Amino acid sequence: MSHFTSMKTRFQNLVYLERALNRLNIPNKRQKEMIQNSISKSYNVNLIIPQSNNYDVEFCWNGQEYELVVDMSFWEQPNTIENFIDKIAQQYAGEVIISESQKIGFQPIKYKHNVDGSNTLILERWNTQKVTAETF
């Protein structure tokens, strides 16, 4: 008997979510889903994580965030679902920090995964303003 579970997340950016999965070496692919109402049609892009048993794990866009949709009876990932989400959330946060910092001139110079499971991220930004010397 199948038991589909839908878990809310705070993942709102598809690109950051894809990068987090890629950083964790979790294979994934995009899937377009057509949404049609009486006036128009649009597309959502979901992320699929294939499993060998063909009961794939999905991150589905609900209009506000990507929900994790999975049949718990067929979970094949190496971690529990809670650890799975935690690991993705940690990488997702790193991707947000890197990308948003780059928008204001910072560049990542070091990204290290520590033995305790934490990550260390070092960013730098050089002052590009012209400095003039004044004599007093």
Domain boundaries, the chain: 4-104
Tens of pLDDT along the chain (136 residues) come to 456 777 778 899 999 999 999 999 999 999 998 877 778 788 889 999 999 999 999 999 988 999 999 998 999 999 999 999 999 999 999 999 999 999 999 998 888 888 998 888 888 988 777 656 665 5
pLDDT, position 111 = 83
Strand partners, 107: 124
Residue 113, H or E segment: strand 107-113
Residue 67, H or E segment: strand 66-71
pLDDT, position 13 = 96
pLDDT, position 117 = 82
Tell me, rounded to whole angstroms, the distance of Cα 20 from its chain centroid: 4
Answer yes or no: pTM beyond 0.85: no
- Return the SS3 of 11: coil
pLDDT, position 131 = 59
